[in-house]
A = this chain, B = another copy of it.
Amino acid sequence: MLQKADLDALDWKILRELQNDGRMTNVELSQRVGISAPPCLRRVRQLEKAGIIRGYRALLNAPALGYDVVAFCLIGLKHQADAELKVFAERTRNWPIVRDAWMVSGESDFLLHCVAPDLGTFQGFVIEDLTSAPNVDTVRTALTIRKVKEEGLVRIGQS
């Protein structure tokens, strides 16, 4: 199976292009990275099989869909036993406003990436759902003003 060390510059070029446009046709991809289509497709399939490419996803425009509020919530729990953490993690999966959630270490226990139609809905979620959920100690929120960077993974270090 493919390992990180096995990736050459061509593989990283492929990854860069597919992160930019995951629906690019294989022939266009092959032209961009400078090889012909068949070996290009073989590399892509290998990257997929090795799990390096986890999948492909359409990106949606939240404001165009009526979701004007994007915010992050930092949650501190009262008790951090393993079972308690799992309970809260499961809870985040049932809140449609929460798009991504991470268990973190530091001052907080969870970080939630939230999207809501308007401020009222988000505030309602914070007050009625988050703050009043069992075992929740602290809730700090950061409303986003704008996204200033959104990029895929790149090779750090060599060349």
How far apart are the CA atoms of A96 and B146 in the complex, in Å?
20
Which of B19, B61, B108 is close to A142, meaning CB atoms less than 8 Å apart?
Answer: B108
Interface pick from A33-41, A99-107, A130-138 = A99-107
Q: How large is the interface on A (under 10, 10 to 19, 20 to 34, 35 or more residues)?
A: 35 or more
Q: Given that A66-B4, A72-B102, A149-B93 are contacting pairs, would A111 and B57 also be in contact in the complex, using a CB cutoff of 8 Å?
A: no
Name the CB-closest residue of B to A62: B153
Which residues does chain B contribute within 8 Å of A53, judged by CB atoms? 58-61
Q: Separation in Å of the A127 CB from the closest CB of chain B?
A: 16
Name the CB-closest residue of B to A66: B4
Please report A residues at the B interface, Cβ cutoff 8 Å.
4, 7, 15, 18-23, 50-62, 64-67, 70, 72, 74, 89, 92-93, 96-108, 110-111, 115-117, 121, 140-154, 156-157
A-B contact pairs, 7 of them (CB 8 A): A4-B65, A51-B64, A99-B150, A101-B147, A102-B145, A106-B143, A111-B144
